[in-house]
Structure 1
Amino acid sequence: MSDTAQYLIRQEPFYQPLHEEVALYQAAWDERLPVMIKGPTGCGKSRFVEYMAWRLGRPLITVACNEDMTASDLVGRYLLDAGGTRWLDGPLTTAARIGAICYLDEIVEARQDTTVVIHPLTDHRRVLPLDKKGELLEAHADFQLVISYNPGYQSLMKDLKQSTKQRFTALHFDYADADTEAGIIATETGTDPALAQRLVQMAGAARNLKGHGLDEGISTRLLVYAARLLKRGVAPRAACRMALVDPITDDKDIRSTLYHAIDALFEVQSDARPVARSGDPSSVPSQAG
Protein backbone atom coordinates (compact mmCIF):
# COMPACT_ATOMS: atom_id res chain seq x y z
CA MET A 1 0.00 0.00 0.00
CA SER A 2 1.40 3.41 -0.97
CA ASP A 3 1.98 6.19 1.54
CA THR A 4 -0.98 8.06 0.11
CA ALA A 5 -3.39 5.13 -0.08
CA GLN A 6 -3.13 4.22 3.61
CA TYR A 7 -4.45 7.63 4.63
CA LEU A 8 -7.43 7.71 2.25
CA ILE A 9 -10.93 7.50 3.71
CA ARG A 10 -12.64 4.69 1.83
CA GLN A 11 -16.21 5.00 3.07
CA GLU A 12 -18.26 8.20 3.16
CA PRO A 13 -18.51 9.50 6.74
CA PHE A 14 -22.00 10.65 7.65
CA TYR A 15 -22.07 14.43 7.92
CA GLN A 16 -25.12 16.68 7.91
CA PRO A 17 -24.27 20.16 6.55
CA LEU A 18 -25.65 22.93 8.74
CA HIS A 19 -24.86 26.10 6.81
CA GLU A 20 -22.39 26.89 4.02
CA GLU A 21 -19.41 25.14 5.56
CA VAL A 22 -18.98 22.58 2.77
CA ALA A 23 -18.89 25.21 0.02
CA LEU A 24 -16.64 27.48 2.08
CA TYR A 25 -14.17 24.71 2.83
CA GLN A 26 -14.20 23.70 -0.83
CA ALA A 27 -13.23 27.26 -1.79
CA ALA A 28 -10.42 27.26 0.77
CA TRP A 29 -9.21 23.92 -0.55
CA ASP A 30 -9.26 25.15 -4.14
CA GLU A 31 -6.89 27.93 -3.08
CA ARG A 32 -4.98 25.63 -0.69
CA LEU A 33 -5.67 28.01 2.16
CA PRO A 34 -5.13 26.78 5.73
CA VAL A 35 -8.37 26.40 7.71
CA MET A 36 -9.10 26.84 11.42
CA ILE A 37 -12.28 25.21 12.74
CA LYS A 38 -13.63 26.55 16.02
CA GLY A 39 -16.48 25.15 18.07
CA PRO A 40 -17.55 23.32 21.24
CA THR A 41 -16.54 19.79 22.10
CA GLY A 42 -18.28 17.06 20.14
CA CYS A 43 -20.14 19.31 17.69
CA GLY A 44 -18.82 17.61 14.55
CA LYS A 45 -15.53 19.37 13.78
CA SER A 46 -13.49 16.21 13.28
CA ARG A 47 -16.29 14.46 11.39
CA PHE A 48 -16.52 17.45 9.05
CA VAL A 49 -12.80 17.27 8.27
CA GLU A 50 -13.10 13.53 7.60
CA TYR A 51 -16.08 14.14 5.34
CA MET A 52 -14.29 16.83 3.35
CA ALA A 53 -11.18 14.65 2.95
CA TRP A 54 -13.43 11.89 1.59
CA ARG A 55 -15.31 14.31 -0.66
CA LEU A 56 -12.06 15.70 -2.07
CA GLY A 57 -10.48 12.27 -2.39
CA ARG A 58 -7.46 13.40 -0.40
CA PRO A 59 -5.50 11.49 2.26
CA LEU A 60 -6.03 12.70 5.81
CA ILE A 61 -3.43 12.60 8.58
CA THR A 62 -4.86 13.49 11.99
CA VAL A 63 -2.82 14.50 15.03
CA ALA A 64 -4.44 14.65 18.47
CA CYS A 65 -2.51 17.49 20.10
CA ASN A 66 -1.45 17.35 23.73
CA GLU A 67 0.72 19.34 26.11
CA ASP A 68 3.58 16.84 25.90
CA MET A 69 3.81 17.02 22.11
CA THR A 70 7.13 18.40 20.87
CA ALA A 71 8.10 19.90 17.53
CA SER A 72 9.94 16.65 16.78
CA ASP A 73 6.68 14.73 17.26
CA LEU A 74 5.23 16.77 14.40
CA VAL A 75 8.25 17.15 12.16
CA GLY A 76 10.30 14.00 12.74
CA ARG A 77 13.50 12.77 14.35
CA TYR A 78 16.53 10.56 13.88
CA LEU A 79 16.21 7.04 15.25
CA LEU A 80 18.93 4.55 16.09
CA ASP A 81 18.34 0.95 15.05
CA ALA A 82 20.37 -2.11 14.06
CA GLY A 83 21.22 -0.56 10.71
CA GLY A 84 22.45 2.70 12.19
CA THR A 85 20.81 6.11 12.32
CA ARG A 86 17.81 6.83 10.15
CA TRP A 87 15.39 9.72 9.81
CA LEU A 88 11.69 9.16 10.50
CA ASP A 89 9.22 11.77 9.22
CA GLY A 90 6.61 13.05 11.64
CA PRO A 91 2.94 13.34 10.61
CA LEU A 92 3.22 16.97 9.51
CA THR A 93 6.23 16.20 7.32
CA THR A 94 4.54 13.14 5.86
CA ALA A 95 1.46 15.18 4.97
CA ALA A 96 3.57 17.88 3.34
CA ARG A 97 5.47 15.30 1.28
CA ILE A 98 2.50 13.31 -0.04
CA GLY A 99 -0.04 16.11 -0.42
CA ALA A 100 -2.36 15.11 2.42
CA ILE A 101 -4.65 17.18 4.58
CA CYS A 102 -2.94 17.45 7.96
CA TYR A 103 -5.49 17.94 10.74
CA LEU A 104 -4.15 19.16 14.09
CA ASP A 105 -7.03 18.48 16.49
CA GLU A 106 -7.33 20.72 19.58
CA ILE A 107 -4.17 22.58 18.71
CA VAL A 108 -4.29 24.79 21.82
CA GLU A 109 -3.39 21.73 23.87
CA ALA A 110 0.07 21.78 22.28
CA ARG A 111 2.81 24.05 23.59
CA GLN A 112 3.23 27.33 21.75
CA ASP A 113 6.88 26.59 21.03
CA THR A 114 5.63 23.50 19.18
CA THR A 115 2.91 25.14 17.12
CA VAL A 116 5.27 27.75 15.65
CA VAL A 117 6.73 25.06 13.38
CA ILE A 118 3.56 25.27 11.28
CA HIS A 119 4.04 28.96 10.43
CA PRO A 120 6.18 28.54 7.28
CA LEU A 121 3.55 26.16 5.88
CA THR A 122 0.72 28.64 6.31
CA ASP A 123 1.87 31.56 4.20
CA HIS A 124 3.15 32.07 0.67
CA ARG A 125 6.29 30.04 1.35
CA ARG A 126 4.55 26.68 1.98
CA VAL A 127 7.77 25.16 3.24
CA LEU A 128 8.75 23.12 6.27
CA PRO A 129 12.31 23.54 7.58
CA LEU A 130 13.73 20.21 8.80
CA ASP A 131 16.56 21.74 10.77
CA LYS A 132 17.91 18.49 12.22
CA LYS A 133 18.06 17.00 8.75
CA GLY A 134 19.30 20.09 6.99
CA GLU A 135 16.41 20.01 4.54
CA LEU A 136 13.92 22.67 3.45
CA LEU A 137 10.85 20.72 2.39
CA GLU A 138 8.56 22.36 -0.14
CA ALA A 139 4.99 21.26 0.50
CA HIS A 140 3.22 19.19 -2.12
CA ALA A 141 0.80 21.20 -4.27
CA ASP A 142 -2.17 19.38 -2.65
CA PHE A 143 -1.03 19.79 0.95
CA GLN A 144 -3.44 21.61 3.26
CA LEU A 145 -3.23 22.37 6.96
CA VAL A 146 -6.37 22.29 9.14
CA ILE A 147 -6.49 22.99 12.86
CA SER A 148 -9.32 22.92 15.39
CA TYR A 149 -9.98 24.06 18.92
CA ASN A 150 -12.72 24.93 21.37
CA PRO A 151 -12.58 28.70 22.03
CA GLY A 152 -14.93 28.38 25.01
CA TYR A 153 -12.76 25.92 26.89
CA GLN A 154 -9.34 27.36 27.43
CA SER A 155 -7.45 29.61 29.78
CA LEU A 156 -5.35 32.59 28.84
CA MET A 157 -2.39 30.24 29.00
CA LYS A 158 -4.03 28.02 26.37
CA ASP A 159 -4.92 30.25 23.48
CA LEU A 160 -3.46 30.65 20.03
CA LYS A 161 -1.18 33.57 19.39
CA GLN A 162 -2.50 36.19 17.01
CA SER A 163 0.52 35.45 14.84
CA THR A 164 -0.87 31.92 14.44
CA LYS A 165 -4.57 32.78 14.16
CA GLN A 166 -4.02 35.27 11.38
CA ARG A 167 -2.42 32.66 9.17
CA PHE A 168 -5.73 30.78 8.82
CA THR A 169 -9.16 31.18 7.37
CA ALA A 170 -11.79 30.16 9.93
CA LEU A 171 -15.09 28.33 10.21
CA HIS A 172 -17.17 28.59 13.36
CA PHE A 173 -19.15 25.50 14.35
CA ASP A 174 -21.90 25.09 16.94
CA TYR A 175 -24.45 22.46 17.85
CA ALA A 176 -27.21 21.97 15.30
CA ASP A 177 -30.78 23.11 15.96
CA ALA A 178 -32.90 20.57 17.82
CA ASP A 179 -34.64 19.01 14.81
CA THR A 180 -31.44 18.69 12.81
CA GLU A 181 -29.52 17.28 15.75
CA ALA A 182 -32.25 14.71 16.39
CA GLY A 183 -32.09 13.74 12.71
CA ILE A 184 -28.31 13.32 12.96
CA ILE A 185 -28.66 11.03 15.98
CA ALA A 186 -31.42 8.98 14.34
CA THR A 187 -29.41 8.57 11.12
CA GLU A 188 -26.13 7.87 12.89
CA THR A 189 -27.53 5.20 15.22
CA GLY A 190 -30.70 3.94 13.57
CA THR A 191 -32.68 4.80 16.68
CA ASP A 192 -36.27 6.00 16.67
CA PRO A 193 -36.63 9.73 15.77
CA ALA A 194 -38.95 10.35 18.74
CA LEU A 195 -36.37 8.92 21.10
CA ALA A 196 -33.67 11.03 19.45
CA GLN A 197 -35.82 14.11 20.09
CA ARG A 198 -35.95 13.31 23.80
CA LEU A 199 -32.19 12.97 23.95
CA VAL A 200 -31.81 16.36 22.29
CA GLN A 201 -34.20 17.85 24.87
CA MET A 202 -31.94 16.43 27.57
CA ALA A 203 -28.93 18.04 25.91
CA GLY A 204 -30.72 21.37 25.82
CA ALA A 205 -31.34 21.24 29.56
CA ALA A 206 -27.65 20.59 30.22
CA ARG A 207 -26.39 23.20 27.74
CA ASN A 208 -28.43 25.83 29.57
CA LEU A 209 -26.25 25.14 32.61
CA LYS A 210 -23.01 25.97 30.82
CA GLY A 211 -21.35 28.71 32.81
CA HIS A 212 -23.67 27.98 35.74
CA GLY A 213 -22.00 24.89 37.12
CA LEU A 214 -20.98 23.17 33.90
CA ASP A 215 -17.86 23.92 31.89
CA GLU A 216 -19.28 22.18 28.82
CA GLY A 217 -22.74 21.06 27.77
CA ILE A 218 -23.70 17.65 26.43
CA SER A 219 -22.13 17.11 23.03
CA THR A 220 -23.74 15.56 19.97
CA ARG A 221 -21.15 12.79 20.31
CA LEU A 222 -22.48 11.89 23.77
CA LEU A 223 -26.04 11.90 22.46
CA VAL A 224 -24.97 9.33 19.87
CA TYR A 225 -23.45 7.22 22.67
CA ALA A 226 -26.70 7.39 24.66
CA ALA A 227 -28.77 6.39 21.63
CA ARG A 228 -26.51 3.40 21.00
CA LEU A 229 -26.91 2.26 24.62
CA LEU A 230 -30.68 2.64 24.40
CA LYS A 231 -30.74 0.63 21.21
CA ARG A 232 -28.98 -2.12 23.10
CA GLY A 233 -31.86 -2.24 25.55
CA VAL A 234 -30.23 -0.27 28.35
CA ALA A 235 -32.86 1.49 30.46
CA PRO A 236 -33.22 5.24 29.72
CA ARG A 237 -32.19 6.33 33.21
CA ALA A 238 -29.03 4.21 33.18
CA ALA A 239 -28.14 5.04 29.57
CA CYS A 240 -28.54 8.78 30.03
CA ARG A 241 -26.69 8.86 33.31
CA MET A 242 -23.83 6.87 31.84
CA ALA A 243 -23.55 8.72 28.54
CA LEU A 244 -24.91 12.21 29.18
CA VAL A 245 -24.49 13.23 32.82
CA ASP A 246 -21.69 11.38 34.58
CA PRO A 247 -19.04 12.15 31.90
CA ILE A 248 -19.53 15.92 32.11
CA THR A 249 -19.77 16.67 35.86
CA ASP A 250 -18.70 15.47 39.28
CA ASP A 251 -20.80 18.08 41.08
CA LYS A 252 -23.44 16.34 43.19
CA ASP A 253 -26.05 19.09 42.84
CA ILE A 254 -25.64 19.39 39.06
CA ARG A 255 -25.88 15.62 38.68
CA SER A 256 -29.04 15.57 40.77
CA THR A 257 -30.61 18.31 38.63
CA LEU A 258 -29.81 16.46 35.44
CA TYR A 259 -30.98 13.14 36.85
CA HIS A 260 -34.37 14.74 37.56
CA ALA A 261 -34.46 16.03 34.00
CA ILE A 262 -33.90 12.48 32.74
CA ASP A 263 -36.73 11.15 34.90
CA ALA A 264 -39.09 13.86 33.68
CA LEU A 265 -38.28 13.23 30.01
CA PHE A 266 -38.50 9.47 30.08
CA GLU A 267 -41.12 9.01 32.82
CA VAL A 268 -39.18 6.12 34.31
CA GLN A 269 -40.60 3.81 36.94
CA SER A 270 -38.85 2.86 40.13
CA ASP A 271 -37.28 -0.15 38.43
CA ALA A 272 -35.62 2.21 35.90
CA ARG A 273 -37.44 0.69 32.92
CA PRO A 274 -39.51 2.81 30.49
CA VAL A 275 -43.19 3.29 31.20
CA ALA A 276 -45.12 1.13 28.75
CA ARG A 277 -47.45 3.30 26.70
CA SER A 278 -49.52 1.93 23.88
CA GLY A 279 -48.29 3.08 20.50
CA ASP A 280 -45.29 4.92 21.93
CA PRO A 281 -42.48 4.38 19.38
CA SER A 282 -39.86 5.54 21.87
CA SER A 283 -40.32 2.50 24.10
CA VAL A 284 -37.13 0.45 23.90
CA PRO A 285 -37.50 -3.34 24.01
CA SER A 286 -35.28 -5.23 26.39
CA GLN A 287 -32.35 -6.89 24.65
CA ALA A 288 -29.28 -8.74 25.75
CA GLY A 289 -26.64 -6.05 26.30
Structure 2
Amino acid sequence: MSKTLHTKPAPKALDSTSADTASESEPQTYEFNVVQNPLQNALNMKYPPERMEALAHTIVSKSFPFDAADGAPKRANPFLLARKSNTYPSIKTPAEEHGRAYEAAHDTGNFVSSIMVTVAKTPVAFFYNLANGFHNAPSFLLNDHTVRRRDNITGFGSGVKVAGKKEFTLGLYDGFTGLVTHPYNGARRHGLGGFLTGIGQGAGGLIFKTSAAAIGLPGYTLKGVEKQFQKRHDRSLKAKLLAIRMRQSLLEFEGTTKEEKEEIIKRWRELDVVLPS
Protein backbone atom coordinates (compact mmCIF):
# COMPACT_ATOMS: atom_id res chain seq x y z
CA MET A 1 0.00 0.00 0.00
CA SER A 2 2.81 2.38 0.88
CA LYS A 3 4.54 1.80 -2.46
CA THR A 4 1.30 2.41 -4.31
CA LEU A 5 0.47 5.64 -2.46
CA HIS A 6 3.95 7.09 -2.89
CA THR A 7 4.46 6.13 -6.52
CA LYS A 8 5.14 9.20 -8.62
CA PRO A 9 3.16 9.66 -11.83
CA ALA A 10 5.01 8.94 -15.05
CA PRO A 11 6.56 12.04 -16.69
CA LYS A 12 4.84 13.35 -19.76
CA ALA A 13 6.61 12.42 -22.96
CA LEU A 14 5.45 15.57 -24.84
CA ASP A 15 6.13 19.15 -23.91
CA SER A 16 3.50 21.89 -24.10
CA THR A 17 4.35 22.86 -27.69
CA SER A 18 4.14 19.30 -29.03
CA ALA A 19 0.98 18.67 -26.96
CA ASP A 20 -0.72 21.71 -28.50
CA THR A 21 0.28 20.53 -31.97
CA ALA A 22 -1.00 17.03 -31.27
CA SER A 23 -4.31 18.40 -29.95
CA GLU A 24 -4.91 20.23 -33.21
CA SER A 25 -4.07 17.28 -35.46
CA GLU A 26 -5.09 14.19 -33.47
CA PRO A 27 -7.91 13.43 -31.04
CA GLN A 28 -6.99 13.03 -27.39
CA THR A 29 -8.63 9.61 -26.96
CA TYR A 30 -7.50 6.12 -27.74
CA GLU A 31 -10.81 5.12 -29.24
CA PHE A 32 -10.66 3.41 -32.61
CA ASN A 33 -12.90 1.23 -34.70
CA VAL A 34 -12.04 -2.39 -35.32
CA VAL A 35 -11.24 -2.81 -38.99
CA GLN A 36 -13.44 -5.52 -40.49
CA ASN A 37 -13.75 -6.80 -43.99
CA PRO A 38 -17.18 -7.01 -45.68
CA LEU A 39 -17.43 -10.72 -44.91
CA GLN A 40 -16.86 -10.06 -41.22
CA ASN A 41 -19.48 -7.29 -41.21
CA ALA A 42 -22.01 -9.54 -42.92
CA LEU A 43 -21.28 -12.31 -40.47
CA ASN A 44 -21.82 -9.95 -37.53
CA MET A 45 -25.23 -8.99 -38.92
CA LYS A 46 -26.29 -12.63 -39.37
CA TYR A 47 -24.63 -13.99 -36.21
CA PRO A 48 -24.26 -11.20 -33.62
CA PRO A 49 -21.46 -11.68 -31.06
CA GLU A 50 -23.91 -11.89 -28.17
CA ARG A 51 -25.81 -14.69 -29.93
CA MET A 52 -22.61 -16.63 -30.58
CA GLU A 53 -21.55 -16.31 -26.93
CA ALA A 54 -24.98 -17.41 -25.71
CA LEU A 55 -24.89 -20.38 -28.09
CA ALA A 56 -21.40 -21.37 -26.94
CA HIS A 57 -22.44 -21.17 -23.29
CA THR A 58 -25.52 -23.27 -24.05
CA ILE A 59 -23.45 -25.97 -25.73
CA VAL A 60 -20.92 -26.04 -22.91
CA SER A 61 -23.76 -26.20 -20.36
CA LYS A 62 -25.18 -29.21 -22.25
CA SER A 63 -28.62 -27.60 -22.63
CA PHE A 64 -28.92 -28.15 -26.38
CA PRO A 65 -31.12 -28.13 -28.51
CA PHE A 66 -32.64 -24.75 -29.27
CA ASP A 67 -36.11 -23.64 -28.32
CA ALA A 68 -38.22 -24.13 -31.44
CA ALA A 69 -40.27 -20.98 -30.74
CA ASP A 70 -37.64 -18.31 -31.22
CA GLY A 71 -34.42 -20.20 -31.94
CA ALA A 72 -32.82 -18.93 -28.75
CA PRO A 73 -31.03 -21.15 -26.25
CA LYS A 74 -33.16 -22.46 -23.41
CA ARG A 75 -30.54 -21.45 -20.88
CA ALA A 76 -28.23 -18.55 -21.40
CA ASN A 77 -25.90 -16.69 -19.14
CA PRO A 78 -27.21 -13.11 -18.88
CA PHE A 79 -23.70 -11.83 -18.30
CA LEU A 80 -22.71 -13.07 -21.76
CA LEU A 81 -25.61 -11.30 -23.49
CA ALA A 82 -24.31 -7.81 -22.90
CA ARG A 83 -23.80 -5.76 -26.02
CA LYS A 84 -20.20 -5.24 -27.01
CA SER A 85 -19.05 -2.09 -28.70
CA ASN A 86 -16.56 -1.97 -31.56
CA THR A 87 -14.77 0.96 -29.92
CA TYR A 88 -12.29 0.76 -27.13
CA PRO A 89 -12.32 3.34 -24.29
CA SER A 90 -9.37 5.45 -23.32
CA ILE A 91 -6.62 3.45 -21.65
CA LYS A 92 -6.37 4.55 -18.03
CA THR A 93 -4.81 2.96 -15.00
CA PRO A 94 -6.89 2.54 -11.84
CA ALA A 95 -4.78 5.21 -10.15
CA GLU A 96 -5.47 7.73 -12.92
CA GLU A 97 -9.18 6.99 -12.91
CA HIS A 98 -9.92 6.70 -9.18
CA GLY A 99 -6.77 7.80 -7.38
CA ARG A 100 -3.94 6.12 -5.50
CA ALA A 101 -6.10 5.28 -2.48
CA TYR A 102 -8.54 3.35 -4.69
CA GLU A 103 -5.70 1.40 -6.31
CA ALA A 104 -4.26 0.52 -2.91
CA ALA A 105 -7.68 -0.60 -1.64
CA HIS A 106 -8.24 -2.62 -4.82
CA ASP A 107 -4.89 -4.42 -4.51
CA THR A 108 -5.53 -5.06 -0.82
CA GLY A 109 -8.95 -6.53 -1.64
CA ASN A 110 -7.41 -8.88 -4.20
CA PHE A 111 -4.80 -9.96 -1.66
CA VAL A 112 -7.43 -10.61 1.03
CA SER A 113 -9.62 -12.58 -1.40
CA SER A 114 -6.67 -14.78 -2.39
CA ILE A 115 -5.96 -15.42 1.32
CA MET A 116 -9.61 -16.37 1.89
CA VAL A 117 -9.55 -18.78 -1.06
CA THR A 118 -6.39 -20.40 0.29
CA VAL A 119 -7.89 -20.70 3.78
CA ALA A 120 -11.07 -22.26 2.33
CA LYS A 121 -9.02 -24.83 0.40
CA THR A 122 -6.93 -25.85 3.42
CA PRO A 123 -9.51 -28.17 5.10
CA VAL A 124 -10.35 -29.65 1.69
CA ALA A 125 -6.73 -30.56 1.01
CA PHE A 126 -6.21 -31.83 4.57
CA PHE A 127 -9.18 -34.23 4.72
CA TYR A 128 -8.85 -35.29 1.07
CA ASN A 129 -5.17 -36.20 1.30
CA LEU A 130 -5.61 -37.85 4.71
CA ALA A 131 -8.46 -39.99 3.36
CA ASN A 132 -6.37 -40.96 0.34
CA GLY A 133 -3.50 -41.88 2.63
CA PHE A 134 -5.59 -44.24 4.74
CA HIS A 135 -7.23 -45.64 1.61
CA ASN A 136 -3.92 -46.55 -0.03
CA ALA A 137 -2.03 -47.59 3.13
CA PRO A 138 -3.15 -51.27 3.16
CA SER A 139 -1.99 -51.72 -0.43
CA PHE A 140 1.47 -50.18 0.10
CA LEU A 141 2.19 -51.17 3.72
CA LEU A 142 0.40 -54.54 4.06
CA ASN A 143 0.51 -55.79 0.47
CA ASP A 144 -3.29 -56.01 0.53
CA HIS A 145 -4.54 -56.58 -3.03
CA THR A 146 -8.21 -56.32 -2.07
CA VAL A 147 -8.13 -52.50 -1.81
CA ARG A 148 -10.76 -51.12 -4.15
CA ARG A 149 -9.85 -48.50 -6.72
CA ARG A 150 -11.38 -45.12 -5.92
CA ASP A 151 -13.45 -43.44 -8.62
CA ASN A 152 -12.55 -40.02 -9.97
CA ILE A 153 -14.23 -37.01 -8.40
CA THR A 154 -15.47 -34.59 -11.04
CA GLY A 155 -18.17 -32.67 -9.14
CA PHE A 156 -20.40 -32.55 -6.10
CA GLY A 157 -22.45 -35.59 -7.12
CA SER A 158 -19.47 -37.83 -7.75
CA GLY A 159 -17.83 -36.60 -4.52
CA VAL A 160 -20.87 -37.59 -2.44
CA LYS A 161 -21.06 -40.94 -4.22
CA VAL A 162 -17.40 -41.75 -3.59
CA ALA A 163 -17.62 -40.62 0.04
CA GLY A 164 -20.85 -42.47 0.88
CA LYS A 165 -21.12 -45.61 -1.21
CA LYS A 166 -17.59 -46.32 -2.38
CA GLU A 167 -15.55 -45.35 0.66
CA PHE A 168 -17.80 -45.45 3.73
CA THR A 169 -20.07 -48.42 2.99
CA LEU A 170 -17.65 -50.62 1.08
CA GLY A 171 -14.71 -49.53 3.23
CA LEU A 172 -16.39 -50.67 6.43
CA TYR A 173 -17.47 -53.89 4.74
CA ASP A 174 -13.97 -54.70 3.50
CA GLY A 175 -12.44 -53.77 6.84
CA PHE A 176 -14.54 -56.14 8.94
CA THR A 177 -14.73 -58.99 6.45
CA GLY A 178 -10.97 -58.82 6.00
CA LEU A 179 -10.54 -60.15 9.54
CA VAL A 180 -11.82 -63.49 8.22
CA THR A 181 -10.96 -63.52 4.53
CA HIS A 182 -7.28 -62.58 4.85
CA PRO A 183 -6.32 -65.37 7.33
CA TYR A 184 -8.38 -67.90 5.38
CA ASN A 185 -6.83 -67.06 2.00
CA GLY A 186 -3.35 -66.88 3.55
CA ALA A 187 -3.68 -70.33 5.16
CA ARG A 188 -5.02 -71.86 1.95
CA ARG A 189 -2.11 -70.55 -0.11
CA HIS A 190 0.88 -70.58 2.26
CA GLY A 191 -0.12 -72.63 5.28
CA LEU A 192 0.62 -71.46 8.81
CA GLY A 193 2.83 -68.56 7.68
CA GLY A 194 0.14 -67.27 5.38
CA PHE A 195 -2.41 -67.60 8.17
CA LEU A 196 -0.34 -65.39 10.49
CA THR A 197 0.29 -62.90 7.70
CA GLY A 198 -3.42 -62.81 6.98
CA ILE A 199 -4.18 -61.99 10.61
CA GLY A 200 -1.84 -58.98 10.37
CA GLN A 201 -3.34 -57.87 7.08
CA GLY A 202 -6.86 -58.17 8.46
CA ALA A 203 -6.10 -56.23 11.64
CA GLY A 204 -4.18 -53.51 9.82
CA GLY A 205 -6.79 -53.31 7.09
CA LEU A 206 -9.53 -52.86 9.69
CA ILE A 207 -7.73 -49.84 11.14
CA PHE A 208 -6.83 -48.22 7.83
CA LYS A 209 -10.09 -48.93 6.00
CA THR A 210 -12.37 -47.79 8.82
CA SER A 211 -10.28 -44.63 9.21
CA ALA A 212 -10.52 -43.98 5.46
CA ALA A 213 -14.28 -44.53 5.64
CA ALA A 214 -14.68 -41.98 8.45
CA ILE A 215 -12.35 -39.32 7.05
CA GLY A 216 -13.51 -39.88 3.48
CA LEU A 217 -17.00 -38.57 4.28
CA PRO A 218 -15.86 -34.94 4.74
CA GLY A 219 -12.75 -35.29 2.55
CA TYR A 220 -14.34 -36.54 -0.66
CA THR A 221 -17.51 -34.48 -0.20
CA LEU A 222 -15.53 -31.25 0.16
CA LYS A 223 -13.40 -32.24 -2.82
CA GLY A 224 -16.57 -32.62 -4.84
CA VAL A 225 -17.69 -29.13 -3.84
CA GLU A 226 -14.30 -27.73 -4.90
CA LYS A 227 -14.47 -29.53 -8.26
CA GLN A 228 -17.98 -28.19 -8.80
CA PHE A 229 -16.81 -24.58 -8.39
CA GLN A 230 -13.85 -25.23 -10.68
CA LYS A 231 -16.20 -26.70 -13.26
CA ARG A 232 -18.35 -23.55 -13.27
CA HIS A 233 -15.26 -21.39 -13.82
CA ASP A 234 -13.94 -23.64 -16.58
CA ARG A 235 -17.37 -23.61 -18.24
CA SER A 236 -17.22 -19.84 -18.84
CA LEU A 237 -13.69 -20.09 -20.21
CA LYS A 238 -14.62 -22.97 -22.51
CA ALA A 239 -17.65 -21.04 -23.74
CA LYS A 240 -15.48 -18.07 -24.72
CA LEU A 241 -13.00 -20.27 -26.56
CA LEU A 242 -15.84 -22.12 -28.28
CA ALA A 243 -17.40 -18.84 -29.44
CA ILE A 244 -14.08 -17.83 -31.02
CA ARG A 245 -13.79 -21.19 -32.79
CA MET A 246 -17.36 -21.01 -34.07
CA ARG A 247 -16.84 -17.54 -35.54
CA GLN A 248 -13.64 -18.73 -37.17
CA SER A 249 -15.42 -21.72 -38.70
CA LEU A 250 -18.33 -19.55 -39.88
CA LEU A 251 -15.93 -17.20 -41.62
CA GLU A 252 -14.35 -20.14 -43.41
CA PHE A 253 -17.79 -21.55 -44.22
CA GLU A 254 -19.00 -18.28 -45.76
CA GLY A 255 -15.92 -18.21 -47.97
CA THR A 256 -16.60 -21.60 -49.55
CA THR A 257 -18.44 -22.33 -52.78
CA LYS A 258 -22.10 -23.36 -53.00
CA GLU A 259 -21.21 -26.99 -53.67
CA GLU A 260 -18.85 -27.10 -50.67
CA LYS A 261 -21.53 -25.60 -48.42
CA GLU A 262 -24.05 -28.22 -49.50
CA GLU A 263 -21.54 -30.98 -48.86
CA ILE A 264 -20.75 -29.62 -45.38
CA ILE A 265 -24.43 -29.39 -44.45
CA LYS A 266 -24.99 -32.89 -45.80
CA ARG A 267 -22.21 -34.29 -43.60
CA TRP A 268 -23.66 -32.58 -40.52
CA ARG A 269 -27.11 -33.98 -41.23
CA GLU A 270 -25.64 -37.45 -41.55
CA LEU A 271 -24.39 -37.03 -37.98
CA ASP A 272 -27.96 -36.13 -36.90
CA VAL A 273 -26.83 -32.79 -35.51
CA VAL A 274 -29.27 -29.94 -34.83
CA LEU A 275 -28.04 -26.97 -36.85
CA PRO A 276 -28.81 -23.42 -35.65
CA SER A 277 -30.86 -21.41 -38.08
Q: Which TM-score band applies after superposition, normalised by the shorter structure?
A: under 0.3
TM-score, structure 1 normalization: 0.21
Q: Could you say which structure has the larger radius of gyration?
A: 2
Name which structure has the greater RCO, CA cutoff 8 Å, separation 6+: 2
TM-score, structure 2 normalization: 0.22
Q: Could you say which structure has the higher helix fraction?
A: 2
